[in-house]
Amino acid sequence: MGLLIKGGEIITSETRLRADIFVENETVTAIGPSLSAPPGTETIDASGKLVFPGFIDPHVHIHLPFMATFAKDTHASASQAALIGGTTAFIEMCCPSRPEDALDGYHVWKQKAEGNSACDYAFHMAVTRYDANTEAQLQEIARDGTASFKIFLAYKNFFGVNDEEMYHTLKLAAKLGVITTAHCENAELVGHLQKQLLVRGVTGPEGHEASRPEPVEAEGTARFATFVEQAGATGYVVHLSCAPALRAAVEAKLRGVNLFVESVAPHFLLDKSYAECSGVEGMKHVMSPPLRDKRNQSALWAALKTGLIDTVGTDHCPFDIEQKLLGANNFTQIPNGIPGIEERVNLMYTYGVKRGSLNLHRFVDALSTRPAKLFGLYPRKGTIAVGSDADFVIYDTNYRGVLSVATQRGINDYNGFEGFEIEGRPSVVTVRGKVQVRDGAFVGELQRGKFLRREPQYFPGNNVDEAPDHAR
Ligand code: URP
Ligand code: ZN
Ligand code: ZN
């Protein structure tokens, strides 16, 4: 059965157009004025609404063994929350820890997601050690369609890699045409600062930011950029949180390094005062890099507006209150992470487009098109065009609401953005032509989601000495 979206205003990263959209067999087959449809076609009236391409969250954690516990979500719960918030595909960090086998871990993550996700999904493969087996394993994983890696410069001895391992990963990534994403904080400095604070008797969540100050992230960002440059690779800084790190990334961009930057919803909207509340209120807002001094937010918004920050993700990583309390007597043991997969689109629309100066096209670009382009999903995802997957967010700009744990779909027992007003929300959300959400309720197929295979891509300026002939 076909699907006709009638009378909406289509907004992509480049165009604004009042037109109908016709869908057959999961993809867009026609866009134009007053389209007619064969009998039996499902028709959705989108008049008065904006029609966006499905939003893509390039950074989420769902299955995550971390800090003596597991992130709270399942693929079923996270994908429904994602869809209600307008995210129709996400890229999950597949993070086996350092002692684990990478390929075994990859299969575990894939099996957890398969048949359990209501929206489409892909993975970034974390490289948490580099040994004699790594090259062959990563080649196999890339051949399977997971064409992006993740490294952590933080979390020493758990997820973290050393500089030598980072270099080998980047060289291999350049050879395979795989982009490498990186958590950029100096692990050594974090370790020393944590010890010093504990010795001084600082045990509460206010110690978290103090142990990971802005220069620690700026150093990690600059070092990653230098390694990307020297390896002739393409890099992507995840969850960049502050002006000094942004400066380091922009300096690298200016000297021609293939470096892309992601910031995440919490860093645009929450500041370190949230994490400095005493007790569990503060713990709810512990993530890394930490929430920062508020003065950083204007730099992040300005960089987003101009495209120096390429994408906006969430770093969705829910731990419940009981889990957060694992760090009640020692801030270094508070599980790091804040959920956000459900809230990102509405928050960035409200505080970026409606109340800020973020252009509607840049909003779509940062939350959908650029993630699709950087991670090998474009033009299948990230736009509305003939041939693209029929992932739409029909957006009601007249909706008014307040975010709260009481009304969220996500399964965590708190909402990091409790009390934030929103001006707009998805009215209808489709995944490959199937209606999955109507007015805040999940109404679709729990098993709709498919694994998105992605091909390697060779970015302009990559060192292609070792790349296959067709990529030079
Ligand atoms: O605090 C965070 N960000 N938790 C998830 C793990 C990571 O560093 O991305
Ligand atoms: Zn991280
Ligand atoms: Zn993360």
Q: Is any ligand 1 atom within 6 A of the Cβ of residue 317?
A: yes
3-state secondary structure of 17: strand
Residue 471 per-residue DSSP state? G
Q: Is any ligand 1 atom within 6 A of the Cβ of residue 182?
A: no
3-state helix, strand, coil in the chain (%, to 5): 35, 25, 45
Cα–Cα distance for residue pair 26/311, rounded to 1 Å: 26
CA of 161 to the centre of ligand 3 (A): 15
Q: Is any ligand 1 atom within 6 A of the Cβ of residue 61?
A: yes
Burial class (CB in 10 A: 0-12, 13-18, 19+), 25: exposed
The closest ligand to the CA of 91 turns out to be 3
Q: State which residues have CB under 5 angstroms from ligand 3, the bound ion.
A: 315
Nearest atom within ligand 1 for CA of residue 286: 1
CA of 285 to the centre of ligand 2 (A): 14
Q: Is any ligand 1 atom within 6 A of the Cβ of residue 336?
A: yes
CA of 389 to the centre of ligand 3 (A): 27
Q: Which of 266, 265, 248 has its CA nearest to residue 257? A: 248
CA of 394 to the centre of ligand 1 (A): 31
Q: Which of 378, 356, 354, 355 has its CA nearest to residue 365? A: 378
Q: Is any ligand 1 atom within 6 A of the Cβ of residue 327?
A: no
Q: Would you place residue 456 in the very low, low, confident or very high pLDDT band (cuts 50, 70, 90)? A: very high
Average pLDDT over residues 441-455: 98
CA distances from 237 to 13, 184, 254 (A): 22, 7, 15
> Residue type at 282?
G
Confidence (pLDDT) at 458? 86
Q: Is any ligand 1 atom within 6 A of the Cβ of residue 368?
A: no
Give nearest CA residue, ligand 1 atom 1. Answer: 287
Residue 470 has pLDDT above 90, yes or no: no
Is residue 19 within 8 Å of residue 58, measured between CB atoms? no
The separation between CA 170 and the C-alpha centre of its own chain, rounded to angstroms, equals 21
Half-sphere exposure for 338 (CA within 13 Å, toward CB): 30
**The 120-126 sheet, strands edge to edge:** 55-60, 87-94, 120-126, 148-152, 179-183, 235-237, 259-264, 311-313
Bridge partners (DSSP) of residue 399 are none
Of the residues 237, 287, 316, which should be mutated to test ligand 1's pocket, given the most ligand atoms within 8 Å of the CB? Answer: 287
At 219-259, the pLDDT tens digits run 999 999 999 999 999 999 999 999 999 999 999 999 999 99
Confidence (pLDDT) at 472? 47
Angle, CA of 275, 296 and 293, to the nearest 5°: 30
Confidence (pLDDT) at 142? 98
Is residue 267 within 8 Å of residue 291, measured between CB atoms? yes
Cα–Cα distance for residue pair 147/145, rounded to 1 Å: 6
Q: Would you place residue 469 in the very low, low, confident or very high pLDDT band (cuts 50, 70, 90)? A: low
Q: Is any ligand 1 atom within 6 A of the Cβ of residue 376?
A: no
Secondary structure (H, E, C), 61-95:
CCCCEECCEECCCCHHHHHHHHHHCCEEEEEEEEC
CA of 455 to the centre of ligand 1 (A): 26
Give the Cβ contact number of residue 142 at 10 Å.
Answer: 21
Q: Is any ligand 1 atom within 6 A of the Cβ of residue 241?
A: no
Give nearest CA residue, ligand 1 atom 3. Answer: 288
Q: Which of 455, 449, 453 has its CA nearest to residue 113? A: 449
Confidence (pLDDT) at 468? 55
Residue 130 has pLDDT above 60, yes or no: yes
Give the β-pairing of 434-438 and 421-431: antiparallel
Average pLDDT of the chain to the nearest whole number: 97
Q: Is any ligand 1 atom within 6 A of the Cβ of residue 337?
A: yes
Give nearest CA residue, ligand 1 atom 4. Answer: 337
Secondary structure (H, E, C), 341-387:
CCCHHHHHHHHHHHCCCCCHHHHHHHHHHHHHHHCCCCCCCCCCCCC
Q: How far apart are the first and last CA of the chain?
A: 43
Give the Cβ contact number of residue 16 at 10 Å.
Answer: 11
The pTM (predicted TM-score) of the whole model is: 0.98
Nearest atom within ligand 1 for CA of residue 155: 8
At 296-345, the pLDDT tens digits run 999 999 999 999 999 999 999 999 999 999 999 999 999 999 999 999 99
Q: Is any ligand 1 atom within 6 A of the Cβ of residue 315?
A: yes
Instruction: Give the residue carrying structure tokens 């993630």.
Output: 371
Is residue 286 within 8 Å of residue 327, measured between CB atoms? yes
Residue 413 has pLDDT above 70, yes or no: yes
Instruction: Detail the DSSP E strand segments found in 187-276.
Output: 235-237, 259-264
